[in-house]
Amino acid sequence: MNKDSKIYIAGHRGLVGSALLNSLKKRGYQNFILKSHAELDLTDQQAVASFFEKEKPEYVFLAAAKVGGIMANNTYRGQFIYENLMIQNNVIHQAYQHQVKKLLFLGSTCIYPREADQPMKENSLLTAPLEYTNEPYAIAKIAGIKLCESYNLQYETNFIAVMPTNLYGPNDNFDLESSHVLPALVRKLLLGTYLETNNWEAIRDDLENRPVRNVNPEQTASQLEEALAGFGIRKNGNSGVEVEVWGSGKPRREFLWSEDMADACVFLMESKDFKEIVASNSGSSGEIRNTHINIGTGQEVSIASLAQLIQKQVGFQGKLVFNTSKPDGTMRKLTDPSKLHHLGWKHQIDIKEGISRICQWYTSVEARC
Ligand SMILES: NC(=O)C1=CN([C@@H]2O[C@H](COP(=O)(O)OP(=O)(O)OC[C@H]3O[C@@H](n4cnc5c(N)ncnc54)[C@H](OP(=O)(O)O)[C@@H]3O)[C@@H](O)[C@H]2O)C=CC1
Ligand SMILES: C[C@H]1O[C@H](OP(=O)(O)OP(=O)(O)OC[C@H]2O[C@@H](n3cnc4c(=O)[nH]c(N)nc43)[C@H](O)[C@@H]2O)[C@@H](O)[C@@H](O)C1=O
């Protein structure tokens, strides 16, 4: 990529897209095409075709998708499979039709079998059944990998598919229901600290800044207390406040800071081609598959430990309680990032540093919506 190359970041307002935009700007890139969902619905085949015809991007980062945590994936199963298939089919196909020089597609580590050997290597794809809670999303992502791979093999395109582990950082979704675990626990535990001191002003401010379904920040203190209890943030008799953690707390997850993730993506777009990635796959028998690349830290933490780390960071004095009526999802999902390490990239920010950064960001002026 040259500094004046025309770069389209699909999903530039999201967690990953915004980190990609910042990372590219820092490196001196300046020629961006940016469209919000409201401006261009990527599920609309005709609209996407017209957009590519008009704009003719040279490089594409496909970070637009229907995304959410375990409950959103499990509940909106139809939307997760349909919207993701449509977005990726439209964008990847038009990138091929309009001779895009390179495209980077973002998948997810949920493509791997539920019982995959840990840490998970790229070649465990399609070797056993998937985790149920996010199966529709995972199937769409697997189709995206195969679309990139098949177009590369048939049409000699240069499309790279990366499989990031669970991500977190600025501009994440902090909704109390549809978000991923890390942003959810940051917000729930912060609200817990406000509830401990009856700081209704801080609670109202938080709810105004990031509206929550069926909660009016103007309500009385006792109504707000009831609303928060519905999200598992509640006063517990005279012993203080408790915050609910979904599931048993036993599943383990691997977390990568979004700016590290963006750095890895830019590194791959700047310096690696699909052919080099194929060449780096060992033991090929003439069949070309598993050309995607894991992006992770190779380090995991239990959900209970994650909650304790965030609790410590925000200074929540109360109790963590586990709600086992909520799903655990897969028990382990740890990437083996050695392929990416061999290609020349390694993460920088560890989980403790990342938690400190995201808690600071969440309460900063910058985070105001
Ligand atoms: N978050 C995570 O932990 C992980 C994410 N990923 C992958 O990374 C990518 C980015 O995820 P993330 O940044 O977290 O997601 P976000 O939800 O933060 O952002 C998604 C972006 O996609 C855009 N978008 C969604 N639907 C459409 C549509 N129909 N048309 C146009 N734009 C649309 C949104 O636009 P707008 O803002 O305008 O509404 C938003 O900017 C996804 O492919 C995801 O699967 C992979 C692994 C883990
Ligand atoms: C990135 C990845 O993200 C999703 O998979 P997931 O890792 O299972 O999602 P998650 O972050 O929502 O949960 C991780 C764990 O944490 C527990 N947990 C505790 N308390 C809260 C809580 O308050 N909110 C949430 N969301 N989870 C909680 C929760 O019960 C689970 O055990 C995929 O669907 C798919 O989108 C995907 O690819």
Average pLDDT along the chain, 369 residues, taken 10 residues at a time: 97 98 98 98 98 98 98 98 98 98 98 98 97 98 98 98 98 97 98 97 97 94 96 89 98 98 98 90 78 97 98 97 98 97 97 98 91
Supply the pLDDT for residue 125. 98
Supply the pLDDT for residue 298. 97
Supply the pLDDT for residue 280. 80
Q: What does DSSP assign to residue 39? A: T
Candidate from 12, 36, 62, 67 with most ligand 1 atoms within 8 A of CB, to mutate: 67
User: Active-site residues: which are they?
Assistant: 137
Supply the pLDDT for residue 22. 98
- Report the predicted TM-score, pTM, of the whole model to 2 decimal places: 0.97
Alpha helices in the chain (DSSP H): 15-26, 45-55, 70-75, 77-97, 135-155, 181-196, 200-209, 221-230, 258-271, 274-280, 303-314, 338-343, 351-362
Supply the pLDDT for residue 41. 98
CB-side neighbour CA atoms (13 Å) of 121 = 10
- From residue 3, give the alpha-carbon distance in Å to each of 39, 165, 364: 26, 29, 31
The answer to whether 5 touches 56, Cβ cutoff 8 Å, is: no
User: Which residue has the least CA distance to atom 31 on ligand 1?
Assistant: 37
Supply the pLDDT for residue 284. 58
* Ligand closest to CA 106: 1
SS3 8: strand
SS3 34: coil
Ligand 2 centroid to Cα of residue 358, in Å, is 17
CB-side neighbour CA atoms (13 Å) of 222 = 0
Ligand 2 centroid to Cα of residue 178, in Å, is 9
Q: Write the class of the CATH domain 7-171+254-298+333-349.
A: alpha beta
The answer to whether the complex's ipTM is over 0.90 is yes
SS3 303: helix
| Pocket, ligand 1, Cβ cutoff 6 A | 11, 13-17, 36-37, 40-43, 63-67, 83, 87, 106, 108, 164, 166-167, 173, 180
Alpha helices in 231-327 (DSSP H): 258-271, 274-280, 303-314
Ligand 2 centroid to Cα of residue 12, in Å, is 23
* Ligand closest to CA 107: 1
